[in-house]
A and B are shown apart, each in its own frame.
Chain A
Amino acid sequence: MNSYYKTLNILLADDDENDRMIFREALEESKMNTLVVSVNDGAALMEYLLKDDTQLPTLLFLDLNMPLKSGMDCLKEIKSVAKLKNIVIAIYSTSSSEKDIEQTFFCGANVYMKKPNDFGKLKELLNKIVTSVNVYSDPPFNIANFLLKL
Chain B
Amino acid sequence: MYTQISSFIQIRIIYAATILFLVALSVFTFIQLKNLTEAYIQINHTHQTTQLLQNVLTDILQSEDCKRGFLLSGDSLELRKRNLALNNLSKEYHALGHLIIDNPKQQDNLNVLTILINEKLASVFNMPLQLKKSFLSADTKQNTLFGVNKMDKVIAQIELMIAFEATFLLHIQGNYNQLSFITPLFMIVFFLGAIIILWASYLKLINALSVSEVLQDKLKIENEGKENLAAELVIANIELAFQVEEKGNRAAELIIANKTLHYESNAKEYRAAELVIANKELAFQVEEKECRAAELVIANKTLHYESSEKEDRAAELIDANKELAFQVREKENRAAELVTANAELAFQIGEKEKRELELINSNKELQSFAQIASHDLQEPLRKIQMFTSRIRDKDYTNLSDYGQKYFEIIEDAAERMQVLIQDLIAYAQTNDEERAFEETDLNVILKEVIEELSDAISEKGATVKLGNLCNAYIIPFQFHQLITNLISNSLKFAKQVLPCQITICSCVENGNNNVNKRLLAKRKYCHITYSDNGIGFEEIYNEKVFEIFQRLHGSGEYKGTGIGLAIVKKIVDNHKGMIKAFGKPNEGVTFDIYLPTK
| Residues of A near any B CB (own CB < 8 A) | 18, 22, 25, 65, 94-95, 97, 115-120, 122
Pairs of residues from A and B, 6 with the lowest C-beta to C-beta distance, nearest first: A117-B385, A119-B389, A118-B389, A117-B382, A119-B390, A94-B379
Within 8 A of A (CB), among B110-163: none
User: Across the interface, do B386 and A94 meet the contact criterion of CB distance under 8 Å?
Assistant: no
User: Across the interface, do A94 and B389 meet the contact criterion of CB distance under 8 Å?
Assistant: no
Query: Known contacts A22-B386, A118-B386; is A94 also within 8 Å of B393 by CB?
Result: no
B383 contacts chain A at the CB level, 8 A cutoff:
yes
Chain B positions within 8 Å of A95 at CB level:
374-375
Q: How far is the CB of A46 from chain B (nearest CB, A)?
A: 24
Q: At the interface, is chain A mostly helix, strand, loop or mixed?
A: loop
Cβ-closest chain A residue relative to B418: A117
Work out how many contacts link A and B, with CB atoms closer than 8 A. Answer: 33
Counting chain B residues whose Cβ lies within 8 A of the other chain, the interface size class is 10 to 19
16 contacts between A and B (CB under 8 A): A22-B390, A65-B375, A94-B375, A94-B378, A95-B374, A95-B375, A97-B374, A117-B381, A117-B385, A117-B389, A117-B418, A118-B386, A118-B389, A119-B389, A119-B390, A120-B389
* Measured CA separation A32–B389 after assembly (Å): 21
Within 8 A of A (CB), among B369-413: 374-375, 378-379, 381-383, 385-387, 389-390, 393
| Residues of B near any A CB (own CB < 8 A) | 374-375, 378-379, 381-383, 385-387, 389-390, 393, 418
* Measured CA separation A113–B524 after assembly (Å): 49
User: Across the interface, do A115 and B382 meet the contact criterion of CB distance under 8 Å?
Assistant: yes
Chain A positions within 8 Å of B382 at CB level:
94, 115, 117
* Measured CA separation A118–B393 after assembly (Å): 10
Chain A positions within 8 Å of B418 at CB level:
117
Chain A positions within 8 Å of B379 at CB level:
94
Chain B positions within 8 Å of A18 at CB level:
383, 386-387
Cβ-closest chain A residue relative to B385: A117
Chain B positions within 8 Å of A119 at CB level:
386, 389-390, 393
* Measured CA separation A118–B137 after assembly (Å): 195
Chain A positions within 8 Å of B375 at CB level:
65, 94-95
* Measured CA separation A25–B387 after assembly (Å): 12
Q: How far is the CB of A34 from chain B (nearest CB, A)?
A: 20
Q: How far is the CB of A116 from chain B (nearest CB, A)?
A: 8
* Measured CA separation A116–B390 after assembly (Å): 13
Q: How far is the CB of A27 from chain B (nearest CB, A)?
A: 15
